[in-house]
Amino acid sequence: MLDLGTGSGAIAISIALARPDALVVASDYSGAALGVAQKNAHDLCGKVEFLAGSWYDVLNGHAPFHLIVSNPPYIAHDDQHLQQGDVRFEPSEALTDGATGLCDLQVIISGAAANLLPKGQLWVEHGWDQAAQVRQMLRQAGYSAVSSKQDLAGIERVSGGTH
């Protein structure tokens, strides 16, 4: 499986620990983030192959995958939450695509099919008010069984489907 925009590696390492039989690949374009992810994987004994670069550009010979997941930057550039609370201390490029918040999600959804095995699945995290738009983007990209999953507050925060 592939984790795009792995950051500290939380998703990729968790999957690697839960499924030691899986081949887990994770990418990020931030060298600093990958340094943290590699240290976390080492400390937690999670077997993950890390790749540096932008989204699918890094995948020479690694695709196709059974599963692609991503928690990409999805906050709109003018969202007031960027100036509030703990997110003020996060790198802005980890939080916002610098536009509507849907641009990186669209790149990831559009590019996934070429990197998935038949019946492979794509799941993405998104903002509290983006679930309907993301489901629509997935359907337009040809995904079936499209659905969303709720977080602990009952808000749809992850959407995906089967290609």
- Candidate segments 27-35, 40-48, 79-87, 153-161, binder of ligand SAM by CB under 6 A: 27-35
The DSSP letter of residue 153 is T
Dist CA 73 CA 46 (whole Å): 24
Report the nearest approach of ligand SAM to the CB of residue 144 (Å): 25
Looking only at the bridges linking them, the beta strands covering 65-70 and 2-4 are parallel
Report the nearest approach of ligand SAM to the CB of residue 2 (Å): 11
Pick the binder of ligand SAM from 15, 48, 65, 71 (CB under 6 A): 71
Tokens of 45: 């004994």
Q: Which residue has the tokens 């931030």?
A: 30
Pick the binder of ligand SAM from 17, 23, 29, 66 (CB under 6 A): 29
Residue 67 within binding range of ligand SAM, rule CB under 6 A: no
- Ramachandran quadrant class, 61 (left: phi over 0; alpha: psi -120 to 50; beta: rest): left
Sites for ligand SAM among residues 74-93 (CB under 6 A): 93
> What's the gap between Cα 27 and its chain centre?
9
Residue 94 within binding range of ligand SAM, rule CB under 6 A: yes
The residues that touch ligand SAM, with contacts defined as CB under 6 A, are 5-8, 10-11, 27-30, 33, 54-55, 71-73, 93-95
